[in-house]
Structure 1
Amino acid sequence: MEVDGVIEMFQRSVNLHNVKYANYIGDGDSKTFKGITDSQPYEDFIVNKKECIDHVQKRMGTRLRAVKKKTKGLGGKGKLTGRLIDELSIYYGLAIRRNSDSVDKMRSAIWATLDHKLSTNENPKHDRCPIGKDSWCSWQKASATNNLGSYEHKPAMSVDVYEAIKPVYEELSNDNLLTRCIGGYTQNRNESFYSTVWALAPKSISSSKIILDIATNIAVCVYNNGFASILHMILTMGMKIDAHRMKLAERSRSRSAKEARSSLKTIRKTAQDQNINEEGQLYGAGIAE
């Protein structure tokens, strides 16, 4: 359904809008792009595939977790922990976003993040880190402000972890992938809208077309005008906001409620990881490659 929908969008773009889409921003699933190229929506005009940087970043986390699962003894304190995987994934994504105008700059920045985690007082490896007092690298900041004499490195990544994850970095810093990241494109706006729709009509629950249409219309209002649009709908329909609901709304804004939501998010993520370990990764960025 997704493939057919995207193909139809490309095929009708000239008639509806008098434009040709030069790029397709994908999430790693190659089937949709193959469908576009096979359908040849435009004569003598090539559609290029661009990667969504958010999904490329997720791909790093997926690959690192797969390595941890397959390699005995790689997990545990001081090894490839979940926190380290999250850090490396974020650093990888930032390296691409901040250097999205050049493949060479992206690759150098990606490896700089790994070298940074390997650095020790005896063997600093910050040659690729950006220099200056505004650098993200604390060692380079100390160097720029003449404070290296008192600088202390954090515990470095173990050599075992480095050797295990090095092939992942080599794979995810190749020319083919990074070339598709040129421009720093993202599907974040789409994903944000979709999440608003699914919050009202969850995918796990069967909904009628009427319910889905209502959820989509509400999502459009919230996406464009924020939750103030919900209040406008309530007043338009003549609904009353009772004191109990106001009390619940105030409670949801409290610090304890926010911490509870954060804890619940962590629990859900842990449960999701457990399901992946038991059943395998069924869907995700780059699965179809």
Structure 2
Amino acid sequence: MFNRLQKLAEDLKETKIDGKLGIGGKGRMTTQIMISFKQYYRQAIVRNKTNLNEMVRSVWAIWKHKASSNKEPHHEWCSSEYCGYLRSLEKDEEYDHNQHRLPLGVMKAIRPVYATGIVIDLCAAMAVLCYNDGSQAIIPFITDITGGGGGYYTRVAMRRLDESCVYAEHKKKTKQTKETFDLLHVDRMSLDIIDDDILDDSYVSGAY
């Protein structure tokens, strides 16, 4: 997140935004605020690493929190653990957004980069989820973001992906077991170890 914001600031330094050039400067996107965004962003990912839906909400809550104003507060996804506005509501106190908000033009300017970063991290999170719990584990997440039921063919496809992974792993382990057995057998034969006396001839043709 920090590197993406830095690059955006460099790209927009000659672009006029809210009456000033670029997104940086006092009361705007300073280096310290970029670092804060990076830290908050990381916390949102780490705290919700097993819940993709909450991860999305927590990540966007940061953007909405910084874009809020006294006239238009947007803290519906915030948590009272860190949101001063929600804590003020609980205490029935006044809250001034001007102490932390960034100009709306600046927030709109960083939104595409912010959204792209979220997509990248969500893809990584989904990959980890699939690796740990199988492809079918992402169906609830797909249902949440699409508002549908995941779809019949989606469920079938995810199940078949899981089955193919299980089958591939089974074949791999079977091959490894056979190779280990063959190697052990060759080693014993090379040492002239013939265990005829302990062979079970129960299934030898003509034994009975």
**TM bucket by the smaller chain?**
0.5 to 0.7
Distance in 2 (CA, whole Å) between partners of 1:155 and 1:108 is 20
Alpha-carbon distance in 2 for matches of 1:94, 1:155: 19
| 1:106 and 1:178 in contact (8 A); partners too | no
Cα shift at 1:101: 1.0
Counterpart code for 1:178? A
Structure 1 residue 178 corresponds to structure 2 residue 122: no
Sort the Cα spacing of 1:142 and 1:62 in 2 relative to 1 into closer, same or farther, 3 A. same
The alignment covers a number of residue pairs equal to 118
Q: Tell me the amino acid that sits aligned with residue 151 of structure 1.
A: Y
> Whole-Å Cα distance in 2 between the matches of residues 127 and 97 of structure 1?
21
Tell me the amino acid that sits aligned with residue 176 of structure 1.
Answer: C
For residue 88 of structure 1, what is the aligned residue in structure 2?
A: 37
- From 64, 78, 85, the counterpart of 1:115: 64
Aligned 8 A contact 1:120 1:155 in 2: no
> Per-residue deviation at 1:85?
0.5
**Alignment match, 1:17:** none
- The partner residue of 1:99 within 28, 44, 48 is 48
RMSD over equivalenced CA pairs, Å: 1.7
Aligned to 1:151: 95
Who is 2:7 aligned against? 66
Offset of residue 155 of structure 1: 4.4
Describe the SS at the equivalent of 1:79: coil
Aligned-pair identity (%): 29
CA distance in 2, matches of 1:178, 1:172: 12
CA distance in 2, matches of 1:170, 1:155: 21
2:145 aligns to what? Answer: none
Aligned-partner SS, 1:139: helix
CA contact (8 A) 1:100 1:181 kept: no
* Change beyond 3 A, Cα 1:128–1:181: farther
CA distance in 2, matches of 1:121, 1:160: 16
| TM-score of the pair, normalised by structure 1 | 0.38
TM-aligned CA distance change 1:121 to 1:98, over 3 Å: same
- Higher RCO (Cα < 8 Å, 6 or more apart): 1
- SS of the residue corresponding to residue 89 of structure 1 reads helix
Q: Which structure has the larger Rg over C-alpha atoms?
A: 2
Q: Which runs of 5+ in 2 are unaligned?
A: 14-20, 130-208
Give the structure with the larger helix fraction.
2
Give the drift of 1:179: 2.1
After superposition, where does 1:263-282 map in structure 2 within 5 Å?
Answer: none
Does residue 137 of structure 2 align to residue 137 of structure 1?
A: no
TM-score (norm 2): 0.53
Q: Kindly tell me: are residues 151 and 159 of structure 1, through their superposed partners in 2, closer, same or farther at Cα, counting changes over 3 Å? A: closer
Unaligned segments of structure 1, at least 5 residues: 1-59, 183-289
